[in-house]
Amino acid sequence: MTAKHALVTGGGSGIGLAVARRLSEDGFRVTVSGRTEQALADSGFAYVVMDVSDERQVNAAFASIDPVDVVVSNAGQAKTAPVLKTSLKLWQEMLAVNLTGAFLCAKAGIPAMIERGWGRFIVVASTSALKGYAYTGAYTSSKHGALGLVRTLAIELAKTGVTANAVCPGFTETELLGRSVETIVATTGMDHEQARAALLASNPMERAVTPAEVAAAVSWLAGGEAGSTNGQAIVIDGGELAG
């Protein structure tokens, strides 16, 4: 039997690379995508260069690879500003990558899954898909939208053999967390240790989620035992949203 094929967007680093490695360990053929070719080449996986916010690039990329059985829509960006100081450019940038990117990948990848009667569409969202955070209006709105997309797809695809789900991690040990710490240091006068502690204070475990923990959740959703899990937001946050 031919191994199932998984595409992981934003797969050259961080959570995406951890997901790619885990799915490969699970026996999937893995293709990663992103905008930086060198990072993709360094990943060791087959890759295709694309900007998920560009419909022509997305369609061309999907057409250039074998049909996919699993799409992990992981590519994303996070930039912060108070809502009333958020520029239209920043607002549109966050929606383009985090929401429109997932939408375009769904349109490009899911039809082939429906034809074969099996598939998994998985969005790496955020706890920001489920609650608000100060100074993250554009990002949080985009992640709420991504979860809305997942829930709608889940209903529309329910009888096709294809599921749609989201994984919602809290602050995760990636370059993005490091940049957030640097921003706090630059704007508040805190040192790095204080800034990191401030970010992680909302997590009852007082530590960052690891990319491997997120990848483990994606692995389960991509497998055969998750066939009835549909339209869900799997939260990985150390208990932050439990309170």
Report, as residue numbers or ranges, the catalytic residues. 139
**Residue 130: how many CB atoms within 10 A of its CB?**
18
DSSP 181-215: HHHHHHHH---HHHHHHHHHTTSTT-SPBPHHHHH
Per DSSP, the three-state class of 150 is helix
Sheet holding 119-124, edge to edge: 46-49, 29-34, 5-9, 70-73, 119-124, 162-169, 233-236
**Residue 82: how many CB atoms within 10 A of its CB?**
10
Where do runs of H (alpha helix) occur along the chain? 14-25, 37-43, 55-64, 88-95, 101-116, 137-156, 175-188, 192-200, 211-222
CA nearest to 214, candidates 242, 172, 181: 172
CA–CA gap between residue 221 and residue 163 (Å, rounded) = 9
CA–CA gap between residue 86 and residue 49 (Å, rounded) = 30
Per DSSP, the three-state class of 47 is strand
Q: Are 222 and 6 in contact (CB under 8 A)?
A: yes
